[in-house]
């Protein structure tokens, strides 16, 4: 850490809000011609409400284990930033819901497919996530005992203050066999970050959250997340790069 760089994700969110609350930080392109943009203020609001849900309703604290089985989506970004703000151990299943670390006992499992939950979450508190961008509740029946994220998050406070910070040795993220500690989380993000203020176009899922979601934010930049970036033609990709003023992309140079 150098200068006044934030020491943790909760401090990073506060820094983005203080620096420029109206600046876009996450832009999402979905499968049904959806485009949703989140300023620092709006993103911070979602992250705070989600973090409060984790703490107030799901009894999470630093060291709790939260499985995240979500696709390439802006809600995945919000859930991961909230998880790291609380200090939980976020265990990310790959985007096909393949096996994660089944040796871990999940306290909470967050998924958009509750009828076919991934391995390892049978005893966890189940949170169902509706993917339509403007969804205010789960469509259909919520499984018995499960929490409807869209409905419950709206009821949470807009400000989150961590009760306790995670120790640097606690795990922050597990993807497959790789685990990153809280002491290394922002360090790895800064190493992966591009130029200050970078605007990254990416199609990465939660398994690549550090370099694709967190790194642009620690650089004071923003993320443009596309649900199927590799499926775009070169012309459509070039148009998107110009329209969104992209400065970096997962698929090679933006310019």
Provide φ and ψ at 127, rounded to 5°.
-120, 120
pLDDT computed for residue 97 by the predictor: 47
DSSP state of 143: P
In a domain, 19, yes or no: yes
pLDDT computed for residue 99 by the predictor: 53
In a domain, 1, yes or no: no
pLDDT computed for residue 182 by the predictor: 98
pLDDT computed for residue 17 by the predictor: 95
Residue with the two structure tokens 């506060």: 14
In a domain, 4, yes or no: no
Based on the structure, what is the number of domains in the chain? Answer: 1
CA 193, CA 81: separation in Å to the nearest integer?
16
CATH number of the domain where residue 108 is located: 3.40.50.12780
In a domain, 254, yes or no: no
pLDDT computed for residue 101 by the predictor: 64
In a domain, 137, yes or no: yes
**pLDDT, mean of each 10-residue run, the chain (255 residues):** 76 95 96 93 97 97 94 96 97 66 83 77 86 88 93 95 93 92 97 94 94 96 95 94 94 50
pLDDT computed for residue 102 by the predictor: 64
pLDDT computed for residue 118 by the predictor: 66
In a domain, 49, yes or no: yes
In a domain, 255, yes or no: no
In a domain, 102, yes or no: yes
Q: Whole domain around residue 126: which residue ranges?
A: 9-249
CA 252, CA 115: separation in Å to the nearest integer?
37
Total-model pTM:
0.94
pLDDT computed for residue 1 by the predictor: 41
* Structure token pair of residue 81: 């930033």
Residues 199/222, Cβ–Cβ less than 8 Å: yes
Residues 6 or more apart whose CB falls under 8 angstroms from that of 236 comprise none
pLDDT computed for residue 95 by the predictor: 60
């Amino acid at each position: 850490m150098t200068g006044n760089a934030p020491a943790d994700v909760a401090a990073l969110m506060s820094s983005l809000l203080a620096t420029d609350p109206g600046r876009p930080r996450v832009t999402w392109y979905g499968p049904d011609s959806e485009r949703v943009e989140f300023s620092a203020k709006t993103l911070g609001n979602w992250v705070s409400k989600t973090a409060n849900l984790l703490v107030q309703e799901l009894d999470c604290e630093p060291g709790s284990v939260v499985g995240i089985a979500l696709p390439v989506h802006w809600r995945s970004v919000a859930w991961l930033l909230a998880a790291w703000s609380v200090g939980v151990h976020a265990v990310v299943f790959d985007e096909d819901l393949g096996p994660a670390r089944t040796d871990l006992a999940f306290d909470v499992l967050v998924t958009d497919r509750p009828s076919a939950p991934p391995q390892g979450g049978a005893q966890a508190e189940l949170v169902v996530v509706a993917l339509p961008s403007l969804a205010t509740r789960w469509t259909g029946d919520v499984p018995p005992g499960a929490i409807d994220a869209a409905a419950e998050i709206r009821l949470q406070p807009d400000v989150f203050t961590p009760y306790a910070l995670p120790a640097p040795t606690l795990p922050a993220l597990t993807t497959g066999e790789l685990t990153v500690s809280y002491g290394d989380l922002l360090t790895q993000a800064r190493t992966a970050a591009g130029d200050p203020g970078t605007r990254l176009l990416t199609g990465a899922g939660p398994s690549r959250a550090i370099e694709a979601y967190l790194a642009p934010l620690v650089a004071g930049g923003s993320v443009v997340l596309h649900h199927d970036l590799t499926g775009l033609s070169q012309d459509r990709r070039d148009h998107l790069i110009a329209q969104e003023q992209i400065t970096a992309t997962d698929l090679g140079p933006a310019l």
